A and B are shown apart, each in its own frame.
Chain A
Amino acid sequence: MFQFKLVLLGDSSVGKSSIVHRFVKDSFDDFRESTIGAAFLSQTIKIRDTSSDSTEDTVIKFEIWDTAGQERYKSLAPMYYRNANAALVVYDITQQDSLSKAQNWVNELKNKVGDEDLIICLLGNKLDLCDSSDNGDKRAVMTDEAKVYAEEQDLLFYEVSAKTGQGVKDVFQSIGEKLYQIKKEEMLSKKGRQAASAKDSVNVKLQRPSTNDPTSCCY
Chain B
Amino acid sequence: MSRQNDVLKEFDPLQQNTDSEHVVKQTESVGIRVHDKPDCRAQEKSKYDEPDTSGEATSDVETFYDFQLFAKQLQEPSAEPIIKYSKSFLRNFQTQRLLWTAREQQKLINDFKIFIYDKFLEYEPFKSLDAIMLRNAQEGIEKLIMGKLHNKCFSPCLKSLGSNLDEEHKQDLIDDKSLQNKVEEFKFIKPADLDIDDSLSDRLDTFVKFSGKELNKINRFKAPRDKMICILNSCKVIFGILRHHTVEEKGADNFIPILIYTILKNNIQALGSNVKYIERFRYEEFIRGEASYYLNSLQAAINFIVTLEKSSLSTDHDSSFEDRYQENQSTIQQETNDDDKASRDDILSSEDYEHNGALDHQHKRNNKSTLPSDYILHPLDNAANAVMQKFNELLFVSKHENREHSNSGSGSNHPDQLNDNENVEQLAKKLQEQEQRNTLETLQAMFPEMDDAIIEDVCIAKKYRVGATVDVLLSL
Interfacial residues of chain B within 281-308, with CB under 8 A of chain A in the complex: 288-290, 293-294, 296-297, 299-300, 303-304, 307
Q: Tell me the nearest residue of chain A to B50, going by C-beta.
A: A35
Given A73-B304, A207-B92: A34 and B85 interface contact (C-beta under 8 Å): no
* The stretch of B22-30, B214-222, B233-241, B422-430 that contacts the partner chain: B233-241
Interface residues on B, range: 35 or more
Q: Identify B401's interface contact among A33, A70, A209, A219, CB under 8 A.
A: A219
* The stretch of B242-250, B374-382, B454-462 that contacts the partner chain: B242-250
Task: Tell me if B167 is interfacial: C-beta within 8 Å of chain A.
Answer: no
- How many A-B pairs fall under 8 Å by CB? 162
Shortest distance in angstroms between B362's beta carbon and chain A's nearest beta carbon?
25
> Would you call the interface of chain B mostly helix, strand, loop, or mixed?
helix
Q: Tell me the nearest residue of chain A to B290, going by C-beta.
A: A40
Contacts of A3 in B (CB 8 A): 288-289
Shortest distance in angstroms between A34's beta carbon and chain B's nearest beta carbon?
7
Shortest distance in angstroms between A75's beta carbon and chain B's nearest beta carbon?
7
CB atoms of B57 and A219 under 8 A apart: no
CB atoms of B290 and A73 under 8 A apart: no
Task: Tell me if B400 is interfacial: C-beta within 8 Å of chain A.
Answer: yes
Task: Tell me if A202 is interfacial: C-beta within 8 Å of chain B.
Answer: yes
Q: Tell me the nearest residue of chain A to B315, going by C-beta.
A: A72
Shortest distance in angstroms between A87's beta carbon and chain B's nearest beta carbon?
14
Task: Tell me if A105 is interfacial: C-beta within 8 Å of chain B.
Answer: no
Task: Tell me if B77 is interfacial: C-beta within 8 Å of chain A.
Answer: no
Type the 1/0 row for A182-219, where 1 means its CB is closer than 8 Å to any CB of B: 00000000000000000001101111111111011001
> Would you call the interface of chain A mostly helix, strand, loop, or mixed?
loop
Task: Tell me if B127 is interfacial: C-beta within 8 Å of chain A.
Answer: no
Q: Identify B293's interface contact among A18, A40, A69, A205, CB under 8 A.
A: A40
CB atoms of A210 and B296 under 8 A apart: no
CB atoms of A42 and B300 under 8 A apart: no
- Bound CA span A211–B83, Å: 8
Task: Tell me if A88 is interfacial: C-beta within 8 Å of chain B.
Answer: no
Q: Identify A66's interface contact among B50, B86, B103, B251, CB under 8 A.
A: B251
Given A79-B303, A219-B404: A37 and B85 interface contact (C-beta under 8 Å): no
CB atoms of A206 and B96 under 8 A apart: yes
CB atoms of A42 and B256 under 8 A apart: no
CB atoms of B290 and A79 under 8 A apart: no
Task: Tell me if A65 is interfacial: C-beta within 8 Å of chain B.
Answer: yes
Q: Tell me the nearest residue of chain B to A42, going by C-beta.
A: B289
Q: Identify B252's interface contact among A21, A39, A215, A219, CB under 8 A.
A: A39
- Bound CA span A70–B312, Å: 13
Q: List 22 A-B contacts (CB under 8 A).
A: A8-B252, A21-B249, A30-B56, A30-B57, A34-B290, A35-B50, A37-B235, A37-B238, A37-B242, A38-B248, A38-B251, A39-B256, A68-B257, A70-B195, A73-B257, A76-B256, A202-B103, A208-B115, A209-B116, A211-B80, A216-B87, A216-B88
